[in-house]
Amino acid sequence: MARSMTAFARQERVKDWGTLTLELRSVNHRYLDVSLRMPEEFRSHESKIREKISARLARGKVDIGLRFSRTETSSSGDIVIDKELVQQISNASREIDHILYNPEAVSSLDILRWPGVIQSPELDKNELTIALFELVDETLKDMLEGREREGEKLAELISQRCQSISEVIVKVKKRLPEIMQIWREKLLTRIQDASVEVDENRLEQELVIIAQKTDVDEELDRLTTHITEVERVLKDKKPIGRRLDFLMQELNREANTLGSKSIDTETTKASVDLKVLIEQMREQIQNIE
């Protein structure tokens, strides 16, 4: 099954203690490259998150962004105040009042703005961890589904190019006998124009030499074999990008050989058409896992 390396997924968990948001972005890459951005309180889970990603993905540059917005009030909705800290701030304020010539009154709102005065509710670390990995699994599943959907479309495009290549191969095979006949007539015409006596045996030898030098049956057979293999690989359930990339190199090699052996404009054009189709497939394959 073809699976694209390009995808995006975003999920969040909203609980009494706050909101967890996870974003996964992936683009094509030669290997698997995972980059994480997360709050420090979740850093201890980084290795396990990487393991989960590596178990499901084989290639791609994956950017993971985790955000945590903590609820600042208790589950009952009451504001919890650190009274001891408030008392310390009050005492410090009175000491400063004795020093200043014209001190300004400190309001209760000023005290509330002091860092740490409003206490955050205690977090259940076990519950937070469970929510985190549920979120990771859900977001990863969403991203994989997106990669598979795009991979199906890429596979369709590649299959269409394979069909076009097969059609070119059939045309070239049909034209090969005609090409040799055309060359035979050309040789006879040149001999007649030169008013040279024709040696039938010598003529046949020259035609055999030309036929050997321009024989492309082997290249056409290998092209057909490679196309059949591409179609088979597209149905494989494992990562197939590297295998397809190798097959593109082999297809391109045979198309180049076909062009170098060509003694006919139609065959040369067929070689160019093949290379265009192969390059179109190669560009699509660069994005397949």
pLDDT digit string (tens) for 218-246?
A: 889 999 999 999 999 999 988 999 999 99
DSSP 190-219: HHHHTT----HHHHHHHHHHHHHHT--HHH
In angstroms, the CA 254 to CA 277 distance is: 13
Most confident of 30-39, 83-92, 114-123: 30-39
Model confidence at 75: pLDDT above 60? no
125: burial class by Cβ within 10 Å (0-12, 13-18, 19+)? exposed
* Percentages of the chain per state (helix, strand, coil), in multiples of 5: 65, 15, 25
Q: Which two tokens stand for residue 148?
A: 């598979």
What pLDDT is attached to residue 45?
93
Model confidence at 248: pLDDT above 70? yes
Element at 247 (helix H, strand E): helix 241-260
Model confidence at 119: pLDDT above 60? no
Backbone angles phi, psi at 38, to 5 degrees: -155, 155
pLDDT over 90, % of the chain? 52
Model confidence at 188: pLDDT above 50? yes
Q: Where in the chain is the domain with CATH 3.30.230.40?
A: 7-73+124-147
Q: Which CATH architecture has domain 7-73+124-147?
A: 2-Layer Sandwich (3.30)
What pLDDT is attached to residue 21?
95
pTM of the complete model beyond 0.85: no
What pLDDT is attached to residue 92?
74
DSSP 123-176: P-HHHHHHHHHHHHHHHHHHHHHHHHHHHHHHHHHHHHHHHHHHHHHHHHHHHH
Model confidence at 74: pLDDT above 50? no
Model confidence at 132: pLDDT above 80? yes
- Whole-number mean pLDDT of the chain? 83
